[in-house]
Amino acid sequence: MTRPMAEAAPRPTRTPRLAWLDNLRVALIVLVVLHHLALMYGAAGPWYWVELEADTAATTVALIFLLVNQSWFMGSFFAISGYFAPGSFDRKGAGAFVRDRLLRLGVPLLLYVFALAPLAAAIGAVGLGAPLPSYLDAIGSGPAWFLGVLLVFSLGYALVRLGRPAGPTHKRRLTVRALVGFVVALAAATYLWRFLVPFGTFIPVVDLPSAFEAPQYVALFAAGAVAYRRGWLERLPGRFGVGAGITVIVATVLLLPIIALYPDAMAGGGTWQSAVLALWEAVMATGMPLALIVLFRRRADRQGRVARELSASAFSVFLVHAPVITAVAVALDPLGMPAVLGFAVGVAVGLPLSFLVAAGLRRLPGLRRVL
């Protein structure tokens, strides 16, 4: 058992700004935009517009890319959010913490549902030559489902803190044994959860595209909160990142081909293939964040003017990129480019344009407090 190095009551001080963590958030936001561009150009999933003439190769590559992303990147967002929750609650108290979460998550969610989603749907319909959808049909959370789920987690965290105030801060080192136990527990929870919510299940009305990853999201949010209390992000040994990266590569090489061979059996219901998928995802969801934390902490711990601007606009990009990249794809469609070339041009145009639109939007007087 590891002995606490120091113990002290939580202090209501502001969490120091971590340049490397801001840069990591930007990288994750970029991956979100690429993820949704792959949905469009690989014709691999529901979106406001899709490339109807994508060939089999493009779709196959897109599906692999999406599957790998799905296994870890949204869990990383929840982990980062969980990391900042304890310090925010310590400083503000329960009431102000809840009001802040309602403002900074609830208002952007409503903005997307009732304004940006209908805009993206209208743009997509024009591009597909389809009738414009009715307003009620067009509203929805789309990629902003994350904000709704994070709001629920944040309110849940506030309830936990009210019922059980935070104890002393324990500067404990993260151990390999704890990591292995976390991976095994997460894999088991995911495997059991998919008896109820199989892989690929989409929940309408609330537009949840990945409820089948709920154990991962809950576990990573909680892990982020624990990491804050125990100082893990700043003190994570470099060898953990290297080991996590190697483990991710080995697990992917060994397990992903098995998953690809049995696509119809991996969804859930107690099959051994679903157990393999759950294990691989647990390794990815744990290993990728650890590897990236060490990498960005060592190699990306500085921010110039451009990096600070990208970081400041990252949240807004998450909110506005859907109508922006959909509009870019619709504008490019008459050129008749192959799907792979369309994706590349979509990235080259849609990604910087999303940041530009986001930077302008967050400077509007009425939106400065929430974006």
pLDDT tens, residue by residue, 226-255: 999 999 988 899 999 999 999 999 999 999
> 159-163, 192-196, 330-334 — which is least confidently predicted?
159-163
What number is the average pLDDT over the span 3-12? Answer: 40
**What pLDDT is attached to residue 2?**
38
**Residue 336 placed within a domain:** yes
Domain membership flag for residue 36: yes
Please state, in angstroms and rounded to a whole number, the distance separating the CA atoms of residues 234 and 242: 16
Band of residue 335 on the pLDDT scale cut at 50, 70, 90: very high
Two structure tokens written together for 87: 């310090």
| Burial of 350 from C-beta contacts in 10 A (0-12 / 13-18 / 19+) | buried
Which pLDDT band, with edges at 50, 70 and 90, does 165 fall under? confident
Average pLDDT, the chain: 92
pLDDT level of residue 223 (50, 70, 90 thresholds): very high
Q: What is the pLDDT of residues 101-112, one digit of tens each?
A: 999 999 999 999
What does the pLDDT read at residue 366? 82
* 76, part of any domain: no
For residue 118, count CB atoms less than 10 angstroms from its CB and return exposed for 0-12, middle for 13-18, buried for 19 or more. Answer: buried
- Is 83 a domain residue? no
Q: In the structure, what pLDDT confidence band is assigned to residue 43 with cuts at 50, 70 and 90?
A: confident
Cα–Cα dist 47/39, whole Å: 7
What is the percentage of the chain residues whose pLDDT exceeds 70?
94
**Does residue 82 surpass a pLDDT of 60?**
yes
Greatest C-alpha distance within the chain: 65
Show the tokens assigned to 170: 């324990």
Task: Check residue 234 and give its pLDDT.
Answer: 83
Give the percent of the chain with pLDDT over 90.
84
**pLDDT computed for residue 169 by the predictor:** 63
- pLDDT band at residue 167 using 50, 70 and 90 as cut-offs: low
- Identify which has the larger pLDDT, 5 or 307: 307
| DSSP H or E stretch at residue 7 | strand 7-8
Does the structure show a pLDDT above 80 at 288? yes
pLDDT above 60 (res 293):
yes
Work out the average pLDDT over 184-204: 95
Check whether 54 has a pLDDT greater than 90. no
pLDDT of residue 106: 96
Q: Is residue 24 part of a domain?
A: yes
Please check whether residue 367 lies inside any domain of the structure: yes
pLDDT reported for residue 170: 65
Quick check: is 33 in a domain? yes
The domain in which residue 34 lies consists of 17-70+303-371
Residue 184 has pLDDT above 80, yes or no: yes
List, for residues 119-164, the tens digit of each pLDDT value.
Answer: 999 999 999 999 999 999 999 999 999 999 999 999 999 999 998 8
Q: Is 14 helix (H, G, I), strand (E, B) or coil?
A: coil
At residue 15, does pLDDT exceed 70?
A: no
Residue 38 has pLDDT above 80, yes or no: yes
Residue among 331, 329, 322 at smallest CA distance from 357: 322
Specify the number of domains making up the chain. Answer: 1
Provide the pLDDT confidence category of residue 168 given band limits of 50, 70 and 90. low
Helices (H), 194-266: 214-230, 232-235, 238-261
Structural domain includes residue 42 = yes
